[in-house]
Amino acid sequence: MSTKLFFEKIGKTLQRIELFERPKKKIPGKWQMYEYFVDKEEELVHQQADDLKANDEYFVIEFTEDNFIQSATLPLSFIQDGKNGKWAIRKNFILLIDESNFRNNVEYQFAFEKGNLKLLKKDAAGKIEFFGFFNKLNLVP
């Protein structure tokens, strides 16, 4: 009987550790970009939090259970024309799905570091098109 309790305690402890939390459970919520790199005309442009604040610019993407919603003052969008849509996870990639035209689907590699979300998109040659860093917005009711 004590062995069963021991394994139950270990199981509960492992569920609380962020390392073992499934990405599908970590991603939902609102994420605000605080820094990014983007390729513009063969030049990698880097914008930091201070630059975004100074220009009163923002980019927020919200992941619900199956959908995503993006809002921004930046001239960026994660899917063509700033549309919203569905999303899915495949290994360490987030697929943003444009339901009206599957050719507009976009795939981003993702990672978590210290509670922040990183999204990376490369072109077919492996050159960075976009690399963004996001803080999760904690909304207090």
pLDDT of 100 reads: 83
DSSP 3-state assignment of 32? Answer: strand
pLDDT of 33 reads: 94
Q: Does the pLDDT value for residue 134 go beyond 80? A: yes
Say how far apart CA 125 and CA 39 lie, in whole Å. Answer: 13
Q: Residue 19: which pLDDT band, with cuts at 50, 70 and 90?
A: very low
Say how far apart CA 101 and CA 2 lie, in whole Å. Answer: 56
Q: Does the pLDDT value for residue 93 go beyond 90? A: yes
* Burial (0-12, 13-18, 19+ Cβ within 10 Å), 78: buried
Residue 119, CA distances (Å) to 35, 54, 103 in order: 11, 23, 20
Q: Residue ranges per domain, the chain?
A: 25-137
Say how far apart CA 117 and CA 84 lie, in whole Å. Answer: 19
pLDDT tens for each residue of 59-82: 999 999 889 988 888 877 666 666
Write down the residue that tokens 């923002």 correspond to. 58
pLDDT tens for each residue of 31-43: 999 999 988 878 8
Number of C-beta neighbours around residue 73 at 10 A = 12
Say how far apart CA 24 and CA 89 lie, in whole Å. Answer: 7
The CATH class that applies to domain 25-137 reads: mainly beta
Average pLDDT taken over every residue of the chain:
81
Residue 93, CA distances (Å) to 75, 87, 105 in order: 23, 10, 12
Write down the residue that tokens 């799905």 correspond to. 97
Say how far apart CA 27 and CA 40 lie, in whole Å. Answer: 28
